[in-house]
Structure 1
Amino acid sequence: MPSLDEIDRKLLRALQANGRITNQDLSDLVGLSPSPCLRRLRQLESAGVISHYAALVDPAAVGLTVTAFVRVRLDQQDDRHLAAFEKAVDGFPEVMECYLMTGDADYQLRILVESLNLFEDFLRHKLTKIRGVAQVTTSFALRPVVYRTALPL
């Protein structure tokens, strides 16, 4: 991982706040002329510090009103079973995040769907059909309290 100086951190903070900022505005914000600013930006991209650019879409605005947090325990935790589970959930568009966990559950997933009926379909016809799933526990989010996409730099 490259060592980040304060200018790099300013660049990253500015881009996290507005990914569509122009290079001119970005260079003004961080105190560089446009060419060195763009060069720094390209270095951050090639080093993998900036992995990609995306638009943040409001889930409710596109009808995805149900957020479920699902904890999954597998019947076996060897590499083969872990890899099979991870490959399967990677193919489900409803799975927004999946983490390998310590504690009572092997995985925690964040699921977004349009309705409870669609969540039930997801659970019955996709998640519990994955070989090796031993237990599934679900909690539904009532509302977001804190949601951040910007890293604390």
Structure 2
Amino acid sequence: MTQLDAIDRKILAALQADCRITMQALADQVNLSASPCHRRVKLLEERGVISRYIAQLDQKALGLHVSVFVSIKLERQREEDLERFAKAIAGWEEVVECYLMTGKQDYLLRVVAADLEAYETFLKRKLTRLDGVASIESSFALQQVKYSSALPT
């Protein structure tokens, strides 16, 4: 685990809020001059604390009105079965999150789709065609109460 001081944490919070902030504006916000601030940002990147910079898109503005949480149970939980499943879904753009779980289900996916018909197509043409899947349970999100990609700093 990387040790972070108060200034590092301020830098991370500011970058999570706006990764397009100028170095000068970031430095002003954390009470540093631009050069030391830039060095700290570069060090955070080198240590892997900052892994990448992204644009966060609005799901509904893109016409993706349906979020589905899909619980997957595999027939077997051998390492090669888990790897085969993970590899298969890795390229599916509809799957925006995937977690290997403890408990009754093996995987939890978050899938986005334009509508119920698009989700049904995804289910029939992709998910149900995977070998080794014992059960699929879909839960539809009615409303997103909170979403954040920002981690606590």
- Shorter-chain-normalised TM-score: which range? over 0.9
> Which residue does the alignment assign to 1:23?
23
Partner deviation per Cα, 1:36-71 (whole Å, 9 max, x = no partner): 100000011111100101111100001000100000
Q: How many residues align?
A: 153
Segments of structure 2 that go 5 or more residues without pairing to the other structure are: none
- Counterpart Cα distance in 1 of 2:146 and 2:118: 25
**What amino acid is the match of 1:15?**
L
Superposed displacement of residue 35, structure 1:
0.4
**What amino acid is the match of 1:118?**
A
Determine helix, strand or coil for the equivalent of 1:62. coil
- Counterpart Cα distance in 2 of 1:132 and 1:41: 44
- Counterpart Cα distance in 2 of 1:30 and 1:96: 33
Determine helix, strand or coil for the equivalent of 1:136. strand
> Which residue does the alignment assign to 1:34?
34
- Counterpart Cα distance in 2 of 1:149 and 1:82: 26
Q: TM-score, normalised by structure 1?
A: 0.98
Segments of structure 1 that go 5 or more residues without pairing to the other structure are: none
Find out whether 1:123 has 2:139 as its counterpart: no
- Counterpart Cα distance in 2 of 1:2 and 1:105: 33
Find out whether 1:3 has 2:6 as its counterpart: no
Partner deviation per Cα, 1:77-129 (whole Å, 9 max, x = no partner): 00000000000010100000000001110000000010111101111110111
The within-5 A match list for 1:1-153 is: 1-153=1-153
- Counterpart Cα distance in 2 of 1:50 and 1:84: 29
Identity across aligned pairs (percent)?
A: 52
**What amino acid is the match of 1:66?**
V
Superposed displacement of residue 8, structure 1:
0.5
- Tell me how large the CA RMSD over aligned residues is: 0.7
